[in-house]
Amino acid sequence: MLKVENIDVYYGAIHALKGVSLEVKEGEIVTLIGANGAGKSTSLQTISGLIRQKRGKIMFSGRDISFSPAQEIVRMGISQVPEGRRIFANLSVRENLEMGAYLQKGKEGLKKTLEKVYEKFPRLRERLNQRAGTLSGGEQQMLAMGRALMAQPKLLLLDEPSMGLAPILVKEIFSIIKEINEAGTTILLVEQNAKMALSIANRAYVLETGRIVTSGPAQELAESEQIKKAYLGG
C-alpha cells in the first residue's frame, strides 16, 4: 500500500534521513521505533508532503506521491496525527472535527462520520462546543485522532500518540488504535514507547540517526536481545 524507497531528507545541512526504505501493506499495523531525534517525525512529515525528500520516492496504492501537494496526499487517503497533537486550540471541538473532514463533500456523509467518531471517543461528544484548547492532554489526543479519522483515511500515520499521557490513558489509546485497525484502516505508528508499540504491531522498523538498522515481525523484535537492551530497558 505504502512504499517508501530510499529517501534522503535534509534540513539545510542536517542529513536527517539517509536512504530510508519501508513498506506498509494493506491491513497492517507497522511501527517505526527509535530514540529521540532518530528521524521518525521527519519520515511521517515526508510521507504527508510537508517536507520533500532530496532523493528517493514514495509510492501509495501504486501511485508516485513523491511530489504531490499535501492536500492531494490527504485526498488519496493518508491522514496524520502529528506529534504533540497539534489540535486547533482556538477552534471548538466540533470545528476541529469538521476541519478533519475538510476535503469530504456532502453534509450527510459528514454526519455519519461524526457519529462514528463520537462512538469511538464518547468524551468528545460531551465537549463539542468547548474550545479545544481547554481539553485535557488525553482528550486532546483523542480529538487529534478523531480529527484524522474524519477524513476516512485508508492509511493513518500516528506520531507518538502516547507522548505525555498517564499509563492508563496510554493503554486506552493503544486499544483504540487496534480497534481502528480492525475496522479496516492500515496504520503506521511512530513510537518511543517501543514496548507498547511492538505489542500491537505486525511488523516493525528500527530507526537510528536517520537509518533503518533493523526490521522484522514485531514479536521477533520484541524478543531480540539487542532491541531489548536498546529500547525496552534491558
Partner 1 sequence: METLIAQLLNGLSLGSIYALIALGYTMVYGIIQLINFAHGEILMIGAYAGFFAITKLELGFFPALIVAMVVSVVLGIIVERVAYKPLRNSTRLSALITAIGVSLFLQNGGLQVFGTDYVTFPRAVDKVTYKFLGGNATITSHQILILIITVIMMFILQYIVHKTKTGKAMRAVSYDKDAALLMGVNVDSVITVTFAIGSAFAAVAGVLLGMYYQTIHPLMGSMPGLKAFIAAVLGGIGIIPGAMAGGFLLGIIETLVSGYLSSAYRDVVVFGLLIVILVVKPTGLLGKDTHEKV
Interacting residues toward ligand ADP by CB under 6 A:
11, 14, 16, 34, 36-42
Q: How far apart are the first and last CA of the chain?
A: 34
Write out the DSSP string of 44-55.
HHHHHTSS--SE
Binding residues among 88-127 for partner 1 as defined by CB under 8 A: 88-91, 95, 98-100, 102-103
What is the grid cell recorded at 17? 534521513
Q: Per CB under 8 A, does 128 bind partner 1?
A: no
Helix then strand then coil, in percent of the chain rounded to 5, is 40, 30, 30
Residue 64 and residue 6: Cα distance in Å, rounded?
A: 14
Q: Per CB under 8 A, does 10 bind partner 1?
A: no
Q: Where are the beta strands (DSSP E) in the chain?
A: 2-11, 14-24, 29-34, 55-60, 63-64, 78-81, 155-159, 186-191, 203-208, 211-217
In the bound state with Mg ion, the residue whose beta carbon lies nearer, of 40 and 127, is 40
Q: Per CB under 8 A, does 133 bind partner 1?
A: yes
Rounded to a whole number of angstroms, the minimum distance from the CB of residue 136 to partner 1 is 17
Question: Among 79, 140, 162, 185, which residue interacts with partner 1 (rule: CB under 8 A)?
Answer: 79
Say which entry of partner 1, ligand ADP, Mg ion, none residue 100 contacts (CB below 5 to 8 A, set by partner kind): partner 1
Q: What count of other Cβ atoms lies within 10 Å of the Cβ of residue 229? A: 10
Rounded to a whole number of angstroms, the minimum distance from the CB of residue 46 to partner 1 is 13
In the bound state with Mg ion, the residue whose beta carbon lies nearer, of 101 and 190, is 190
At residue 16, the 3 state secondary structure works out as strand
In the bound state with ligand ADP, the residue whose beta carbon lies nearer, of 43 and 96, is 43
Q: Are 141 and 158 in contact (CB under 8 A)?
A: no
Say which entry of Mg ion, ligand ADP, partner 1, none residue 74 contacts (CB below 5 to 8 A, set by partner kind): partner 1
Q: Per CB under 5 A, does 98 bind Mg ion?
A: no
Query: CB burial class (10 A; 0-12, 13-18, 19+) of residue 57?
Result: middle
Q: Per CB under 8 A, does 161 bind partner 1?
A: no
Question: Among 38, 147, 189, 222, which residue interacts with partner 1 (rule: CB under 8 A)?
Answer: 147
What is the grid cell recorded at 92? 471548538
Stretch that binds partner 1, among 1-9, 13-21, 64-72, 185-193 (CB under 8 A): 64-72
Say which entry of ligand ADP, Mg ion, partner 1, none residue 133 contacts (CB below 5 to 8 A, set by partner kind): partner 1
The dihedrals phi and psi of 181, each to the nearest 5 degrees, come to: -65, -40
In the bound state with Mg ion, the residue whose beta carbon lies nearer, of 4 and 150, is 4
